[in-house]
Amino acid sequence: MRRTPLSPGTLDSVDRAIINALQDGFPVSHRPFAEAGAALSLSEAELIERIGRLREMGAITRFGPFFDAEAMGGAFCLCAMAVPQAQFEDVMTLVNAHPEVAHNYERSHRLNMWFVLACEKASAIEKVADSIERETGIRVLRFPKLKEFFIGFRVAA
Amino acid sequence: MNIDATDRRLIAATQGGLPLTPEPYGEVAKWLSLTEDEVVSRLNAMIEKGVIRRIALAPNHYALGMTANGMSVWDVDDEAAERLGAEVGRLSFVSHCYLRPRALPDWPYNLFAMLHGATREEVEAKRADVAAILGPACQGSDILYSTRILKKTGLRLNDPGA
């Protein structure tokens, strides 16, 4: 995924209108591009062409359904460790070697390694976290989600 | 969980995105030997059940200039945490907002909110906005900036048909 800003002027006002409108939703219907295009005064073909271009240039990361991985039966847990600087690379290698570690970030804090465990079953979370503790000799603090709040996040294009 | 094998095939077929053709649901139906009506009604049912949160376009916030982000964390009184968490989650610059257990004594924070902005200064200003919403119910806070991505893999459902 692209992690740098597009140069100014890459997007025109129509691109921006598309991004702003379709973050909120896309129709589930026979001709959804025609329907969504009409609301933006765009033809079906033009909307399809522009979404393809926005995807190619990396202005959008996804276009389609967003699934709730927990509703599909997965289990997740945010974990954190306080890793001494001298051991950091070794611990990172041990942690990342677990396929259940979905992403892992170094963060500016005494708890400097933060990762998400993603497992098919909830019981596997504790097992993986315990084995990381055994392998590294460092406590794995576990922060399972108790409640998730939805979600006003919008990116103004 | 009440999704069946056909739903799972539909998830596997669309988790990379919808095809950019005039009849995207009809196209997906063809891939799976279903009818368009069946695809549409299954998608609507999964939206109803919360398995699909929405069908939409996701902007790349980095490409659009929001390159700074910080994990803000807050120690919020338990009895106010649900109400205030919902308020924080509604903010347009908060992408993820969760209540999580504290890990005392190492970690007193129970509300996590990922803040996004064009610069770190902007993120700090937004952090002040969150602090104003939480008010006296908040006993302390911190913000953790990521300094390095150590691993990143997408969360993908295994295709049981594969």
Cα distance between residue B44 and residue A13, in whole Å: 31
Interchain proximity A153–B54, CB inside 8 Å: no
Interchain contact, A106 vs B142, CB within 8 Å = no
Same domain, B76 and B24: no
pLDDT in tens, B16-63: 899 999 999 999 999 999 999 999 999 999 999 989 989 999 999 889
Provide ipTM, 2 decimals: 0.84
Listed by start position, the domains of chain A span: 13-56, 75-143
The reply to whether A109 touches chain B by the CB within 8 Å rule is: yes
Statement to judge: residues B44 and B90 lie in one domain: no
* Tens digit of each residue's pLDDT (9 = 90 or more) over A68-84: 878 777 899 999 999 99
**Are B78 and B134 members of one domain?**
yes
Element (H, E) at B130: helix B120-134
Residues A123-140: pLDDT tens digits? 899 999 999 999 999 999
List all residues of chain A from 35 to 64 with a beta carbon under 8 Å from chain B. Answer: 44-45, 48, 51-52, 55, 57-64
* CATH code for residues A75-143: 3.30.70.3460
CB contact under 8 A, A6 and B59: no
CB-CB neighbors (< 8 A) of A24 in chain B: 54, 56
Q: Which helix (H) or strand (E) holds A62?
A: strand A60-67
Walking along chain B (162 residues) 10 residues at a time, the average pLDDT comes out as 88 94 98 98 94 92 90 98 96 94 96 95 97 98 93 54 30
Residue B120 half-sphere exposure toward CB, CA atoms < 13 A: 5
Cβ–Cβ contact A71 with B under 8 A: yes
Distance from CA of B159 to the nearest CA of A (A): 12
Pairing relationship of beta strands B68-76 and B138-152 according to DSSP bridges: antiparallel
Q: Hey, of A7, A20, A28, which one would you mutate to test binding to chain B, going by the most B CBs within 10 A of its CB?
A: A28
Q: What is the pLDDT of residue A73?
A: 76
Name the residue with higher pLDDT: A1 or A19. A19
**Same domain, yes or no, for B134 and B97?**
yes
Give the gap in angstroms from C-alpha B137 to the nearest C-alpha of chain A: 18
Instruction: Name every chain A residue with its beta carbon within 8 A of the beta carbon of B156.
Output: none
Question: Quick check: is B158 in a domain?
Answer: no
Residues B74 and B140 occupy one common structural domain: yes
Domain count for chain B: 2
In a domain, B56, yes or no: no
Strands A113-119 and B94-99: unpaired
The SS3 of residue A86 is: helix
Q: Which of A50-64, A98-112, A139-153 has the lowest mean pLDDT?
A: A139-153
DSSP bridge partners of B56: A64
